[in-house]
Chain A
């Protein structure tokens, strides 16, 4: 669907550097509650949107198009993540996707939250998936 290969890679700095970034987020709520962020540079977000929609990059003429694609990708990633949780007894429901854009922002967890950051590379551009988890009551029988 995306027609791009994504490979894990060692952590790279995604600290604000003035470059415009885009982060799409989908949350899940239930026995396990949390949120997953998918973020990359805004320019690479545009390339991703073009690839997914089968368009040339210059045909992606609106940020809204990029937002929608990034939101949908986050939805697919978190949907599959949620399926894994549900199969292990952690039932939860997904939220609708949301988008954050900017050049000077960071995602910070609060103290009671577990944080996992996964770094990937795709067409030589970094792509980061950040999972923030707040574990509730363990499912029955676990």
Chain B
């Protein structure tokens, strides 16, 4: 159920601003223009939080608050007071009223969202219902590092993807950026002066906009203390310098649960084709491994009974590759899929060095594999 917010203010302007501030979030906002209306709406809707103005006609905020606190069903609803008066006396008076928080007008919308986000969980609209993002979607990354070379490396490393890298060298700039934009993932240097990277992490986690955004710490491989501290305080992960761009992409993909399967799996010619890239490495093996079972199951579910593993781009067959093909072959056997492997003579020879490959059937080209697998299927049917 969506959280409910009630704004009680005689000013239509303030009610509009409050409603607009929460528009990006999956919440219901109710309005009332004075204390009497506010009590009625509160009793009807049982909101999760009430934003209550003090100076109002008919029934002011102070009286409305005392009536809410005296009502057995409404007394526990958190109240955030809005006031145009920032004086000591007024602040003390508000504090004594038993409110959860207060904001002095004029206030920034972001501040209002942040304060309310401390009381109720604010989820972005559509969160959880949008389709899974793919690796080739325009992902936005915020990189906070005072070393311009790192920002340059990140930009050039991501240039073969549609990902956008925003670099900031100061934490204040990063906070400003996040008040306007919502990056998909954030990378923060752990070696910024005065522990600023850790402070920034806490600020991002305290903000409703970024509290769920994956945040990675950036540090040199040898900075074990920083890595340990980052894990303890709850960073999503640590990316070490010098940067291994494939490793960075892989970690971001995992954190954002990006769909990368389309790069390796395709259904064509009535066959499930798993293509291994030239830059096959442990990260790629991991990505393919995670997608292997669901993709094969999906193919079987859609009526396909054949699979080709295409190694024609692979330069050499190492143990990671052999392990992956072994998993694929076992899965094919489990689900009764006909299979063939395409590979160069060198790769075939390297695979043959492993005992596990003795039952694997190789073809020289994709076309030959397709032909062989179709013939095998026909023979089995006959």
Contacts and interface: CB of A to CB of B under 8 A. Distances in A.
Interface of A is mostly: helix
Given A75-B84, A78-B84, A83-B90, A69 B13 contact: yes
Contacts of A84: 87
Given A68-B13, A72-B13, A86 B87 contact: yes
A133 B16 CA distance: 33
Contacts of A64: 12
Contacts of A68: 11-13
B128 interface: no
Contacts of B88: 86-87
A15 to B, nearest CB: 29
Contact of B16 (A2, A53, A78): A53
B28 interface: no
B86 interface: yes
Contacts of B147: none
A135 interface: no
A76 interface: yes
A76 B12 contact: no
Interface in A7-44: none
Interface string A64-92: 11001101100110111011101100010
Interface string B273-314: 000000000000000000000000000000000000000000
Nearest to B106: A1
A11 B117 CA distance: 44
Nearest to A87: B87
A79 B84 contact: yes
Looking at B16, B55, B84, B85, which has the most chain A CB atoms within 10 Å of its CB? Answer: B84
B83 interface: yes
B20 to A, nearest CB: 6
A80 B11 contact: no
A18 B114 CA distance: 45
B105 A83 contact: no
Given A1-B108, A91-B89, A76 B17 contact: no
A48 to B, nearest CB: 11
A63 to B, nearest CB: 13
A72 B105 CA distance: 9
Interface string B73-116: 00000000001111111100000000000000111110000000
B85 A79 contact: yes
A83 B85 contact: yes
A2 B90 CA distance: 24
Nearest to B105: A76
Interface string A88-126: 000100101000000000000000000000000000000
B14 interface: yes
Nearest 10 Cβ contacts at the A-B interface: A79-B84, A83-B87, A1-B106, A79-B85, A83-B85, A72-B13, A72-B11, A86-B87, A76-B84, A76-B105
11 contacts: A1-B109, A53-B13, A71-B11, A75-B84, A76-B105, A76-B106, A79-B85, A84-B87, A87-B88, A96-B10, A96-B57
Interface of B: 10-14, 16-17, 20, 55, 57, 83-90, 105-109
